[in-house]
Amino acid sequence: MQTFKETGLPEEILSAIGELGYETPTPIQSKTIPEILNYGNDLIALAQTGTGKTGAFGLPVIPQIKTEEKNVQALILCPTRELCLQITKDLQKYAKNYRDLFITPVYGGTEIRTQIKALKRGSHIVVGTPGRMNDLINRKAIQLGDVRWLILDEADEMLNMGFKDDLESIMAQTPEWRQTLLFSATMPPEIARMSKNYMQEPVEISVGTKNQGAENVEHHYYMVQAHDRYRALKRIVDVTPDVYGIIFCRTRQETKDIADKLMADGYNADALHGDLSQAQRDLVMHRFRKKHLQLLVATDVAARGIDVNDLTHVINYNLPDDIEVYIHRSGRTGRAGKEGIAVTIIHSREMHRIKAIEKIAKKSFERKMVPKADEICEKQLFHFLDRVGKTELEESSPVNALLPALYEKLESIDKEQLIKQFVAAEFNRFMEYYQNAPDLNIYKEERGGKGGRREGRGGRDRGNASFSRLFLNIGKTDKLTSGEVIGLINSNMRGTTVKIGKIELLRNFSFVEVDKEYEQELITKLNKAKLKGKKVSLEVASPKPSGRKRDRDGGGRRHGGGRRQY
């Protein structure tokens, strides 16, 4: 295995990174460092986020800076403020033994005059976002005529964010003899065109395959009805008590809605989107990095440049339109040699998109079933007990003074009863919430048209049961879902497994097939219930006629023999 010393780095750099605990270069570092140190060729480096790209360009550039000259010699462009600050922080650590070397970050969302003053004092390396760099150039606050290294970090992200014109304008201010280093996670056509127009016979270095997903990430998907996405999300989170991840949504509004729902439901979550001020964004990111938040709900644009190494999960509330965006999302977990999981919630008509991602990213997706109530409650209970078991009680703890009174209070309760009451007190509300929760999974192999979900106790499985078709006076105008119909049946038939067949949700009413054995018992019990704020009316309907079109909802009711006929 190659060491940093074998890459040709000088002792000042080796000493600094040795103190940071770095011993061996990552694959991208071992390939790029000698190239930048020794040959001076333009370079295209393809590697996922979290693979050590800052070290790949920073470690070989720093020792080549001429500190006696007070001009800008290296310009690093990146897509976001967060990434700009992170790169600057890393470079300052690498350069700790070069006391006369100055590094300046420039980015939007903060006072430009402060950055102009820093540049006037002299800076050898400038790290900036494209928009702010162009502002500084237009104000003649920065000169780029002596730039020896032009580095584009996350070039594909900058192009995706619409910085193409800014990048071209900035590159035009740099000398033609510069060395251009382009780092990207994917290789879209725009990158190829840029390399052709602005680079001279670049050497291409790739870790893994172009557009391939990160190696340490498992890819899971859950298939549910579109209206069950949020309930599925909660169950996925509940069955993973130690989750620390980002939930990606399509729009700002969806981001706000999902974050608000999670917070209202008691989850440790917050939102990151374009409507936040820079101060609000910084506060959210500070809490997330300190793990005071477990879940960050974000859009792709808002999440760009987030640099967090310990994410356990990336959750796609919706699949992105661009497969390369999926690769970027999933690459935010499984970083720095750790393992991660990328989760996607889809509906039945999106399976072809999973197949497309598998083909391009060269990754296999594993179908997972949305966890059911017993699995979630068991997981949460044992997680809680593990935390209790790992809690250290110091001698100075005020709890010690209360122990004699506690022992006296509990001495009349035997051990088994105490455990039962302890668990009930802690988990009753949680278990009651999930007591009659329906199965949210769509079972693809049973899908026929829009149907095919197997739900309820024993599932929507006709088996050998004889079914009765019942009329329910609540329908789509009441925003009724199939899951709520099943929940209504289960909650009123506790202790009894009732097989459920087809559920038809119409505009003003619905039909549900149930095991004929429980027909009268269901009618008796459910006609005492309420659903969606309405008193339930349930009665036997005629079997659905074969060979004729379904009558339009709301027309032609005929009564005969106590049965509704349609």
Nearest to 296 by CA among 335, 85, 346, 287: 287
Q: Name 564's bridge partners.
A: 541, 559
What burial letters (b/e) apply to 349-363, b meaning 16+ CB within 10 Å?
Answer: ebbebbeebeebbeb
Q: How many CA atoms lie within 13 A of 499 on its CB side?
A: 12
Print pLDDT tens along the chain (566 aa): 578 888 889 999 999 998 888 878 888 888 899 889 887 789 998 876 667 889 999 999 999 999 998 899 999 999 888 889 889 999 999 999 998 999 999 998 788 999 999 999 899 999 999 999 999 999 999 999 999 999 999 888 888 778 888 998 999 999 989 999 998 877 777 778 888 888 888 888 887 545 455 567 899 999 998 889 999 999 999 999 889 999 999 888 899 999 999 998 889 999 988 788 878 888 888 899 888 999 999 987 777 666 677 889 999 998 887 777 788 788 788 776 678 899 999 987 888 888 888 887 778 899 999 988 878 888 888 877 777 777 777 777 777 778 788 778 778 888 888 777 777 776 776 677 777 788 888 875 433 333 333 333 334 444 445 788 899 999 888 888 887 888 888 878 776 777 888 888 888 889 999 888 888 888 888 887 888 888 888 888 866 654 444 433 433 333 333 333 33
In one-letter notation, the amino acid at residue 540 is: V
In one-letter notation, the amino acid at residue 247 is: I
- pLDDT, position 459: 41
- pLDDT, position 262: 93
The two tokens of residue 57 are 């360009």
Residue 439 is classified by DSSP as P
In one-letter notation, the amino acid at residue 307 is: D
The two tokens of residue 454 are 């197997």
Residues near 376 by Cβ (< 8 Å), separated by ≥ 6?
235, 238, 239, 434
What domains are there in the chain, each with its CATH number?
5-206 (3.40.50.300), 217-367 (3.40.50.300), 444-565 (3.30.70.330)
Work out the angle at residue 307's Cα, subtended by the Cα atoms of residues 303 and 310, and round it to the nearest 5 degrees. 110
Report the distance separating Cα 361 and Cα 208, nearest Å: 11
- Residue 279's Cα: distance from chain center in Å? 23
3-class state of residue 493 by DSSP:
coil
Work out the angle at residue 86's Cα, subtended by the Cα atoms of residues 84 and 88, and round it to the nearest 5 degrees. 70
Report the distance separating Cα 288 and Cα 271, nearest Å: 10
Nearest to 153 by CA among 125, 173, 172: 125
DSSP, residue by residue, 188-234: -HHHHHHHHHH-SSPEEEESSSTTPPPTTEEEEEEEB-GGGHHHHHH
Residue 505 is classified by DSSP as E
The two tokens of residue 18 are 């040795």
Report the distance separating Cα 353 and Cα 345, nearest Å: 12
Nearest to 248 by CA among 309, 185, 184, 306: 306
Q: Say if residues 125 and 102 touch (Cβ distance below 8 Å).
A: yes
Work out the angle at residue 252's Cα, subtended by the Cα atoms of residues 246 and 253, and round it to the nearest 5 degrees. 110
The two tokens of residue 285 are 């990111």
Residues near 333 by Cβ (< 8 Å), separated by ≥ 6?
214, 217, 245, 311, 312, 313, 314, 340, 341, 342
The two tokens of residue 150 are 């032009």
The two tokens of residue 175 are 């000398």
Residues near 46 by Cβ (< 8 Å), separated by ≥ 6?
184, 185, 186, 187, 204, 205, 206, 207, 208, 210
Q: How many CA atoms lie within 13 A of 414 on its CB side?
A: 2
Report the distance separating Cα 457 and Cα 465, nearest Å: 14
Report the distance separating Cα 220 and Cα 345, nearest Å: 9
Q: Please give the radius of gyration of the chain, using alpha carbons only, rounded to the nearest integer.
A: 30
Residues near 47 by Cβ (< 8 Å), separated by ≥ 6?
27, 28, 53, 56, 183, 185, 206, 207, 208
Supply the angle between the helices 164-171 and 189-198 in degrees, to the nearest 10: 10
Q: Taking the alpha carbons of 202, 204, 210, 212 in that order, is the dihedral positive or negative?
A: negative
